[in-house]
Copies of this chain bind each other. A is one copy, B any other.
Amino acid sequence: MPDVAKDAPLAERLIAGDKRALARAITLIESDDPAGWDLVREVYPRTGKARIIGFTGPPGVGKSTLIGALTGEMRKADREVAVLSIDPSSPFTRGALLGDRIRLSEHFLDPGVFIRSMASRGALGGLSEAALQVALVMDAAGKDDVLIETVGVGQAEIDIVDHADTIILALMPGSGDSIQALKAGVMEIPDIIVVNKADHPMTDTMVREVRSVLALSHEAGDWKVPIVRTEAMNGVGVDKLAVKIDEHRAFIEEKGTLAERRARNLRSEVIGIAASRMRRQLEAWAAEDAPTAELLERVVRRELDPATAASELLERHTDA
């Protein structure tokens, strides 16, 4: 498969599509190794080809099963697929999801599928940044589709999915919360809505409700958000979902929305990385810089309030 030597530089092996090189690259990024950042710098001009597809939705709707089934569809079309699962950030929602992994495990032996999960909170924070860097190396490795799934429900996980080209919200019949969230504008309108577990008797009601919310937000010339019914467990409807993803892609390419969206996402990625590095720098100053330590002591002695101390800290070290 890879037509480069085993001892070729990592970037070269990555671009040739070597699975081990990709796994290694991700480990470097996850562990915040400078070699990981160097690698991304090197391969970055080769990125931008993959379709980045994000999946969001409440726990228990069967996102992993859906992604597993969709991966099967994409493989039929001979597309190379990478799946990135972001594990829950909450200590309270772990564990319940192992059953869901079964569907994905079908693909473990397929060399055209690469599956990786990331823990939600690395030693250095900044999960969003790391996840987006991982998506870049998956793209550089020649994957046609990068599927990003967040298992957690925190804002950080949702932010990651927001960076996708196509955002899919998975719902299931009988759970009203997500529709309320859409209605209230708490959640952005996704590009495609999937109603999974569509053999449930409440499915029609659910679809009607979702449709009425979508009607409110739709404007002429916009992409018309489709509602796809699936039973991911049995593969039902997943082919239709694959078609809708293709159609959305064609629409945003034609309208120029893809370029706009990517530009906006890349800008916010730069700011995210800078902000997370800045936080680390602030922590380093607090630990090592004597005037900063003294400033913090004054806060502890209740002489200076935290917000004023923060302003002084920024004035001292930045041109903010």
**Residue-wise interface mask of A (292-305) relative to B, using a CB-CB cutoff of 8 A (1 in contact, 0 not):** 00011001101111
Choose, from A76-84, A107-115, A151-159, A206-214, the stretch at the interface: A151-159
Q: Which of the four size classes fits the interface of chain A?
A: 35 or more
Give the chain B neighbours of A176 by CB distance below 8 A. 95
* Residue A90 interfacial (CB < 8 Å): yes
Q: Verify A318–B281 contact, CB threshold 8 A.
A: yes
The residue on B at minimum CB distance from A36 is B307
- Interchain CA distance A274-B313 in the complex, whole Å: 7
Q: Verify B94–A186 contact, CB threshold 8 A.
A: yes
* Residue A202 interfacial (CB < 8 Å): no
Choose, from A9-17, A40-48, A224-232, A244-252, the stretch at the interface: A40-48
The residue on B at minimum CB distance from A177 is B95
Give the chain B neighbours of A220 by CB distance below 8 A. none
Q: Verify A91–B132 contact, CB threshold 8 A.
A: no
Q: Name which of A37, A152, A320 has the most chain B CB atoms within 10 A of its CB.
A: A320
Q: Verify A121–B155 contact, CB threshold 8 A.
A: yes
Q: In the complex, how many angstroms separate the beta carbon of A248 from the nearest chain B beta carbon? A: 21
The residue on B at minimum CB distance from A59 is B92
| A interface list, Cβ under 8 A from B | 37, 40-41, 44-45, 47-48, 57-59, 89-96, 120-121, 129, 132-133, 136, 152-156, 158, 176-178, 180-182, 184, 186-187, 262-263, 266-267, 269-271, 273-275, 277-279, 281-283, 286, 295-296, 299-300, 302-311, 313-314, 317-320
With known contacts A177-B96, A279-B271, A302-B44, A155–B317 Cβ distance under 8 A:
no
* Neighbour of A274 across the interface among B91, B180, B282, B319, CB < 8 A: B282
Q: Verify B314–A177 contact, CB threshold 8 A.
A: no
* Neighbour of A270 across the interface among B47, B182, B187, B309, CB < 8 A: B309
The residue on B at minimum CB distance from A178 is B92
Q: Verify B92–A305 contact, CB threshold 8 A.
A: no
Q: Verify A47–B275 contact, CB threshold 8 A.
A: no
A93-B153, A274-B310 are known contacts; what are 10 more A-B pairs with Cβ within 8 Å? A40-B305, A90-B153, A94-B181, A121-B155, A263-B300, A266-B306, A275-B278, A277-B314, A317-B318, A318-B318
- Interchain CA distance A270-B95 in the complex, whole Å: 34
- Interchain CA distance A313-B303 in the complex, whole Å: 34
Give the chain B neighbours of A58 by CB distance below 8 A. 92-93
Q: Verify B274–A89 contact, CB threshold 8 A.
A: no
The residue on B at minimum CB distance from A279 is B275
* Neighbour of A155 across the interface among B57, B132, B154, B303, CB < 8 A: B154
Q: Verify B266–A307 contact, CB threshold 8 A.
A: no
Give the chain B neighbours of A91 by CB distance below 8 A. 158, 177-178, 181-182, 186-187
